[in-house]
């Protein structure tokens, strides 16, 4: 079992819809969780991070964390074609600065 | 201010050659990370520095890989006797000490 798992996609949604991206992790002691966006040929850029159970909203983005289920998700409301990218889930292992990334989910927003 | 910069952006090496990849972090960032990203995969952790101290090198795939950050700013990732499986994008990221990492543009290494 990989430490951080994501569906590779592609996930296709129509413009204006809600895109839901999911991530599971295996280390129950993980402390912090991150979502990065990576456009093709570019480097990852941080969208959001979340530390506590529940929801965290930032503009059109909402991160959701459920530590009991070892599950973190990212919702993108009013999806735009410019949101088309690969979304990487990253987890900070306990007691350190060793980050584990998932393989990424490719999102395609269709105009 | 300037972001993380990496050089060269592209490197082609013949199998067996040594290569050196440079990372200039954001000024003042104490933490520096190196990752390897294969095509279609997420970044894989290689090593982490806090200032000049290399605190975690558990991700380095073999003893052919070596990283240093002698003055706590610029870092170099060196790969000796390159192999075809070393072909990947090498990403550097820096952090002010919080969990947030800021990535450079990467160096695409191709080993022929």
Show the CA angle centred on residue B98, arms to residues A97 and B95, nearest 5°. Answer: 80
**Does the structure show a pLDDT above 60 at B1?**
no
Closest-CA distance of chain A to residue B75, Å: 17
The CB density around residue B44, as the number of other CB atoms within 10 Å, is 16
Cα gap A86→B62, rounded to integer Å: 29
Size of chain A in residues = 111
If you average pLDDT over residues B57-77, what whole number do you get? 95
Residue B2 vs residue B108, higher pLDDT: B108
Which residue of B lies nearest to A96 if distances are taken between CA atoms? Answer: B56
The answer to whether B101 contacts A49, with C-beta atoms less than 8 Å apart, is no
Note the pLDDT tens digit of each residue in A34-53. 999 999 999 999 999 999 99
Note the pLDDT tens digit of each residue in B26-44. 999 999 999 999 998 999 9
Preceding amide of A10 cis, omega within 30: yes
**Does the structure show a pLDDT above 60 at A59?**
yes
Which residue of B lies nearest to A50 if distances are taken between CA atoms? Answer: B99
Chain A neighbors of B54, CB-CB under 8 A: none
Q: How confident is the model at residue A96 (pLDDT cuts 50, 70, 90)?
A: low
If you average pLDDT over residues A51-66, what whole number do you get? 95
**DSSP state, B27?**
T
Side-chain half-sphere exposure of B42, counting CA atoms within 13 A: 26
The answer to whether B99 contacts A92, with C-beta atoms less than 8 Å apart, is yes
Cα gap B33→B49, rounded to integer Å: 6
């Amino acid at each position: 079992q990989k430490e951080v798992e994501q569906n590779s996609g592609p996930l296709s949604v129509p413009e204006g819809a809600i895109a839901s991206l999911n991530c599971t992790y295996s280390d129950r002691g993980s402390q912090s969780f991150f979502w990065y966006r990576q456009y093709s040929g570019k480097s990852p850029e941080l969208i959001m991070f979340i530390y506590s159970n529940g929801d965290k909203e930032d503009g059109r983005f909402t991160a959701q964390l459920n530590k009991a289920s070892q599950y973190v998700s990212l919702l993108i409301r009013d999806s735009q074609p410019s949101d088309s990218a690969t979304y990487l889930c990253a987890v900070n292992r306990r007691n350190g600065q060793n980050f584990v990334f998932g393989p990424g989910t490719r999102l395609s927003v269709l105009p | 201010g300037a972001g993380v910069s990496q050089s060269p952006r592209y490197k082609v090496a013949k199998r067996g050659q040594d290569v050196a990849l440079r990372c200039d972090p954001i000024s003042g960032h104490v933490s520096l990370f190196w990752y390897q990203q294969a095509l279609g995969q997420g970044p894989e952790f290689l090593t982490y520095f806090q200032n000049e101290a290399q605190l975690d090198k558990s991700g380095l795939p073999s003893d052919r890989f070596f990283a240093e950050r002698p003055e706590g700013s610029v870092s170099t990732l060196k790969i000796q006797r390159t192999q075809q499986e070393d072909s990947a994008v090498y990403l550097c990221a820096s952090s002010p000490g919080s969990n947030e990492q800021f990535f450079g543009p990467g160096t695409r290494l191709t080993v022929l």
